[in-house]
Structure 1
């Protein structure tokens, strides 16, 4: 049996695995480990074909150094992630830099960016391979000497005109031969576990048929959306009249201090100089730590609700109750301790002049009211569409532009195995539909052409969908292979996530620190 990697290298992996212990039982041992260990051991080598970056004969663990600088970029399971110019990390950097080669000058900022990307790409591949090696060692397997011999014979260093050259092998130093054998042993082990994980998958015909049934049926939908911003002006005016206090303005100034002690010092200084008309603005220029200090602390005429967002309704009531020229506070906020000064009387509210301000406030703070109103409107439209027998006609008559989605299967969260997604569109309204339980629960039940969904809440809007077309594809001949590939890719992603998890007790990441030590000027 052989394993073919994505970059075209084929390794014979048949019959060369031998356990370190004759009574070792890998699958039995798994039941005794933690869930995290199980995940890593079973899925680890799924990433081999992508992680090696073409370095199948460049050992991550036994790169032969010839002196020179070496740097430790972190560790995994106690194994150092070490860089030297001629070990696997160094070769991965060289390969990545060649891939990114654009011919730009090394003093160019773009080159600095490219260099960082290349080093990080190389580092990531070595981290994954080091993690694989760690878990391989824990699994208790190693390749047989016979398998290593076979691949030494095939290694380019010892071949002439495509044939094994015994004289070259004899002429090589024992150190070189030992290093080559160690490198081969490691790469064969990686390849074998990869073969075990990737090629040993079993999917029953029933599983394959079920997955194909999910993928093969693709539906497209006509739809309209009603944005929350379409909330009727009449309703906005009604809301404004009922909540005049929120939109009452008062000219105020403020000083923001870093702590309570500084804020009390501000209050004390103001009380000493309050007869001076410029006292507050001068203190603001000296003490304040916000953007208003350059204007002497002046915020201008400010809505009640904006101040309330900072210090709460009760404290805002105190500010709006101040006599002109008086101060209130200090109030503790997320931005520091704030002292307010009343610069003038409150202004009467004319809601007719504040429609857009009130609408903006409601979009931020009263989404529930807007959502309920738009759902009610969508329900009315749905009834009209059902009565008319034509979704498109009914929506057009009511002033809506009908759009049509791309065809897609039932595919929650856009699993690549199952194909398309409702988000394959330029319409931002559909963003997030693939992972929206509300969306799928409303459209899956409509199975007849022309059926109309219940209202769906999407991205500050409410939408209606009508089944426009349904098509069933013929089964792919390569479907079982595609399932194997997608499952392996999923395992790869899971493994990568587990390896670089910030909470991992095995992974010590020092990439940024070490990279900046090597390239201090550019960082």
Structure 2
């Protein structure tokens, strides 16, 4: 595939050196040729998608993804070379020679074959030596920067102490949907104006001037529903145009959210057939027409509408009520000296967590996480300050946490066991590997996202090779 691609690209003769500069880092260009380290990275990256036909609809996307992946590798290597140059480091010729001797291209039966070496062209040898220098540079850099960090015994022991202690918990989840229906209706009664309905039509246009001209046109006609509907179908730029602008019976709070309280109040004072506006909104300038009169308030069958409104606009009321209920349950469980029996008597499902350490943000070095389960209610707990504050103080089996807000729910946790893992033989190696990986990620982020030395010209260079992209 690579051969076909580059036969078509370079047959144009626009680049006789077969080199394309994709960017630079400091004073070093990031150069592509089919057989340099960047080119080899492209080949390796594309090989991951070798089963994807070029006729596939996503082939162009995947190809660009593979090239971008290889490009990031080349940027990374170029940055390392830049910093190695700044330090004065160069792999010695003897070190490069040793790499060449070990190269499979020049070996027979596992030994260096001088005859095979002499049979290879100078260009191939030069490319192999360049790759050898790149590999040596990377290994020296990785060894000095990533792998040779000193870790004291005290540090390693501290990390192991954090990882070895794993706790498990019984817990209950009280969803916000448990907010009592009578409280929903009470809220609706106390805020009845929000759920007052009025049949409306609307026309939306781009500018205030256009909206005023529309009002003049409407005034010149008979002010009937039909004339407003004709204008809506002709001019309106919203999804109600096809319906002649009709949006039907509409709650006051919806218009309030759209154009503000004062403007909404003026709309709901309209007599049938009257218009109001134009009002500016995020969708354009809107003119409303009252297609009837305000209906007498009835909350019958409106419970779900009111609950939805509260979940979107009055979540604090719902949250406070569920937290209060959870606090009462916790007090009852403490008085009964049994979390399990109290929650079961109250009709709650008691769930059991996996064992996990105190591991904020789910650091892989420390092991498990509260999110290592299929319970969606625990999503986000690993990075939740409030969650960890609620459970880190539980040191005795049976201790019950303060209620904690989770995902549209409140949780209560009771410590059920404290477990200690046995130290494995590879702990120190895993610590060093994890810290090295973390440092490499930080270095990569600093290069690709933060460094002023990096000049990224990937898109323009890629288009030289694949103009259709």
TM, length-normalised to structure 2: 0.90
Instruction: Provide the C-alpha distance between the structure 2 equivalents of 1:133 and 1:272, rounded to a whole number of angstroms.
Output: 76
Q: 1:405 to 1:462 in 2, by over 3 A?
A: same
Post-superposition offset of 1:355: 0.7
Among 72, 83, 87, the alignment partner of 2:36 is 87
Post-superposition offset of 1:117: 3.6
Which sits farther off after the overlay, 267-276 or 420-429? 267-276
Q: 1:222 to 1:148 in 2, by over 3 A?
A: same
Instruction: Provide the C-alpha distance between the structure 2 equivalents of 1:259 and 1:235, rounded to a whole number of angstroms.
Output: 43
Instruction: Provide the C-alpha distance between the structure 1 equivalents of 2:23 and 2:216, rounded to a whole number of angstroms.
Output: 53
The answer for the alignment partner of 2:386 in structure 1 is: 438
Q: 1:321 to 1:138 in 2, by over 3 A?
A: farther
Instruction: Provide the C-alpha distance between the structure 1 equivalents of 2:421 and 2:23, rounded to a whole number of angstroms.
Output: 49
Instruction: Provide the C-alpha distance between the structure 2 equivalents of 1:517 and 1:107, rounded to a whole number of angstroms.
Output: 21
Mapping of residues 362-381 of structure 1, within 5 Å: 362-381=310-329
- Kept in 1, the 8 Å contact 2:270–2:290? The answer is yes
Q: 1:72 to 1:326 in 2, by over 3 A?
A: farther
Say yes or no: does 1:76 pair with 2:35.
no
The DSSP-based 3-state class of the residue aligned with 2:204 is: strand
Among 303, 310, 315, the alignment partner of 1:355 is 303
Instruction: Provide the C-alpha distance between the structure 2 equivalents of 1:293 and 1:171, rounded to a whole number of angstroms.
Output: 77
Say yes or no: does 1:463 pair with 2:419.
no
The answer for the alignment partner of 1:124 in structure 2 is: 72
Which sits farther off after the overlay, 491-500 or 141-150? 141-150
- Kept in 2, the 8 Å contact 1:73–1:511? The answer is yes
Post-superposition offset of 1:240: 0.6
The answer for the alignment partner of 2:438 in structure 1 is: 490
The answer for the alignment partner of 2:233 in structure 1 is: 285
Q: 1:267 to 1:414 in 2, by over 3 A?
A: same
- Kept in 1, the 8 Å contact 2:172–2:348? The answer is yes
- Kept in 2, the 8 Å contact 1:79–1:130? The answer is yes
Say yes or no: does 1:222 pair with 2:170.
yes
The answer for the alignment partner of 2:10 in structure 1 is: none
Instruction: Provide the C-alpha distance between the structure 2 equivalents of 1:423 and 1:363, rounded to a whole number of angstroms.
Output: 25
The answer for the alignment partner of 1:336 in structure 2 is: 284
Q: 1:408 to 1:324 in 2, by over 3 A?
A: same
Post-superposition offset of 1:106: 2.2
Say yes or no: does 1:241 pair with 2:193.
no
- Kept in 2, the 8 Å contact 1:456–1:464? The answer is yes
Post-superposition offset of 1:492: 1.9
Post-superposition offset of 1:500: 2.5
Segments of structure 2 that go 5 or more residues without pairing to the other structure are 1-14
Deviation track 1:401-427 (CA, whole Å, cap 9, x = no partner) reads 000111100000000000000001111
Which sits farther off after the overlay, 89-98 or 151-160? 151-160
Say yes or no: does 1:269 pair with 2:217.
yes
Which sits farther off after the overlay, 152-161 or 486-495? 152-161
Post-superposition offset of 1:491: 1.2
Instruction: Provide the C-alpha distance between the structure 2 equivalents of 1:121 and 1:382, rounded to a whole number of angstroms.
Output: 52
The answer for the alignment partner of 1:150 in structure 2 is: 98
Among 49, 53, 60, the alignment partner of 1:100 is 49
Post-superposition offset of 1:483: 0.5
Instruction: Provide the C-alpha distance between the structure 1 equivalents of 2:92 and 2:154, rounded to a whole number of angstroms.
Output: 38
Instruction: Provide the C-alpha distance between the structure 2 equivalents of 1:452 and 1:505, rounded to a whole number of angstroms.
Output: 52
The DSSP-based 3-state class of the residue aligned with 1:252 is: strand
The answer for the alignment partner of 2:369 in structure 1 is: 421
Among 450, 454, 479, the alignment partner of 2:402 is 454
Post-superposition offset of 1:178: 5.0
Say yes or no: does 1:507 pair with 2:466.
no
Instruction: Provide the C-alpha distance between the structure 1 equivalents of 2:112 and 2:401, rounded to a whole number of angstroms.
Output: 70
- Kept in 2, the 8 Å contact 1:229–1:363? The answer is no
Post-superposition offset of 1:155: 3.7
Deviation track 1:73-111 (CA, whole Å, cap 9, x = no partner) reads 444335444433333333222222323222x53212254
TM, length-normalised to structure 1: 0.81
Instruction: Provide the C-alpha distance between the structure 2 equivalents of 1:512 and 1:504, rounded to a whole number of angstroms.
Output: 19
Say yes or no: does 1:407 pair with 2:355.
yes
- Kept in 1, the 8 Å contact 2:179–2:321? The answer is yes
Q: 1:183 to 1:444 in 2, by over 3 A?
A: same
Q: 1:77 to 1:330 in 2, by over 3 A?
A: farther
Post-superposition offset of 1:238: 1.0
Which sits farther off after the overlay, 461-470 or 183-192? 183-192
Which sits farther off after the overlay, 329-338 or 141-150? 141-150
Instruction: Provide the C-alpha distance between the structure 1 equivalents of 2:451 and 2:234, rounded to a whole number of angstroms.
Output: 47
Post-superposition offset of 1:329: 1.8
- Kept in 1, the 8 Å contact 2:196–2:295? The answer is yes
Among 121, 138, 160, the alignment partner of 2:86 is 138
Instruction: Provide the C-alpha distance between the structure 2 equivalents of 1:333 and 1:474, rounded to a whole number of angstroms.
Output: 63
Instruction: Provide the C-alpha distance between the structure 1 equivalents of 2:205 and 2:86, rounded to a whole number of angstroms.
Output: 57
Which sits farther off after the overlay, 302-311 or 77-86? 77-86
Segments of structure 1 that go 5 or more residues without pairing to the other structure are 1-65
The answer for the alignment partner of 2:134 in structure 1 is: 186
- Kept in 1, the 8 Å contact 2:19–2:31? The answer is yes
Q: 1:211 to 1:155 in 2, by over 3 A?
A: same
Report the number of matched residues.
455
- Kept in 1, the 8 Å contact 2:37–2:131? The answer is no
